Amino acid sequence: MILVGLSHRTAPVEVREKLAAGSDALPSVLARLASRSELAESMFLSTCNRIEVVAVASQAGVDAARRAIREELARQGGASSADEMAPYLYEKLDDEAVRHVFRVAASLDSMVLGEPQILGQVKEAYDSARAAGTLHGSLSRCMSKAFSVAKRVRTETEIGIGSVSISSVAVDLARRVFGDLADRTVLLLGAGEMAEAAAWSLGKSARALRICNRNFERAAVLAGTLHASAVPWEGLAEELVAADVVVASTASSVHVVTRAMAERAMRARKGRTLLFVDIAVPRNVDPSIHGLANAYVFNVDDLAQEVARGMAARHTQVEDAERIVSLEVADFLAWRRGLEVQPTLVGLRTKARAVFLSELERSLAGRLKHLTDADRAALNQMVESSVNKLFHAPTARLKAKAAEGDDAQELAAAVRYLFDLEEIPAPKPSPRMENADEAPDDERLPH
């Protein structure tokens, strides 16, 4: 398994926003990944704080797959070459890639430790990859396992206590700047999940809460649940004059609040402070507005200090969460190692069954030709039972050695030599399987 990406830890928001892919752009990104012969499976994760490609290499090999992913990330970011993006990228292979995926889903690598939104974003990336046909087999199993890891971390630790979302941190920043919001008007740009989280974090603390969204009906629905006011998108300029705090989280790929718009609003405000908290990636608010008198713009990277203030309580839970991740990584790797010896086990049983059935057919055509169909069926069942009983112990022991990471490959090679077995490809796990030798069951995934 290969993972290449960048996050808030390695790249500033102005780099991340170039690579971000919303729900509309995701199918085309996945189509490009699917067209790369170097990748057997792939998934693209795009959030405000990270862009990552998780993949399984084809027969072209790991190095070829790594180059392909880097080239596609550079293309997504509009870079002239993969080298241009290289300073911001990290890369993880095999065990470390699995651990990283599990930690991301469990929000252990998030800017806001324990925030719940990341799991939904990973699930959306998973669904999109499945729909595009780029995700199956071992990578699908890995993502399914990641969901169960996240659930364990959430239920068995208190990692999610306190303010655990970018939206709630944005509201905390507004309170830090203005103090009591009881006499302030807050404007939410956007009516999606992040806007809703910000609205709930505000509660009834603001004097007025107004929601402005391109889809007015969606804004009205959200406003109705929060005792807020929905305002038309066309009235955004007037709303900037009245608001004290603007929390922006639309899916727009361009600035929805331009410098010229802000300049007009600030002239009309006659010196009153206006705070923009831009939690969208790509950014919704022109960062140059920060240079205007009494106008302040904070983006997701600027929230890092605010995040640090609320981390102490959750850090006490990290050790328990990391222990859960380690146990689940070991369990997944044992399953994957089991797949490596599966062709040998299949070949062994197939050859034994073929030999027994061949001898049985010879007897049924000769001395036993007088047997009835029922007798013949009974003998065939006896052969199946004999094969299962004869090879139960070697099957269990070889799988156990694989799970332990011991000399399973050497033992498998010895079995192939002793029984003169031809190597056959490992069977691709069915997406509906759910046991140790099998891939994930969709019905068990969180929706």
Residues annotated as catalytic are: 48
Q: How far is CA 282 from CA 105, 121, 169, 252, 425, in A?
A: 22, 16, 19, 7, 44
The span from the CA of 136 to the CA of 126, in Å, is 10
Three-class SS of residue 323? helix
Element (H, E) at 402: helix 392-404
Q: Please identify which residue in the block is written with the tokens 């990859």.
A: 129
Adjacent-strand bridge partners of 45:
52
Q: How far is CA 10 from CA 15, 16, 19, 87, 424, in A?
A: 10, 10, 14, 8, 42
The answer to whether 274 and 243 are in contact (CB under 8 A) is: yes
The answer to whether 144 and 135 are in contact (CB under 8 A) is: no
Q: How many CB atoms lie within 10 A of CB 73?
A: 24
**Rounded to the nearest 10 degrees, what angle do helices 318-365 and 94-105 cross at?**
120
The span from the CA of 82 to the CA of 39, in Å, is 17
The secondary structure of residue 285, as a DSSP letter, is B
SS (H, E, C) 196-212: HHHHHHHCCCCCEEEEE
Q: Which residues contact 360 (CB under 8 A, 6 or more apart)?
A: 379, 380, 383
The answer to whether 367 and 444 are in contact (CB under 8 A) is: no
The answer to whether 190 and 198 are in contact (CB under 8 A) is: no
The span from the CA of 42 to the CA of 210, in Å, is 41
Contacts 24+ apart (CB under 8 A), 383-391: 383/353, 383/356, 383/357, 384/353, 386/356, 387/349, 387/352, 387/353, 387/356, 390/352, 391/345, 391/348, 391/349, 391/352
Beta strands at 2-7 and 90-93: parallel, antiparallel or unpaired: antiparallel
Nearest to 170 by CA among 193, 195, 192: 195
The secondary structure of residue 186, as a DSSP letter, is E
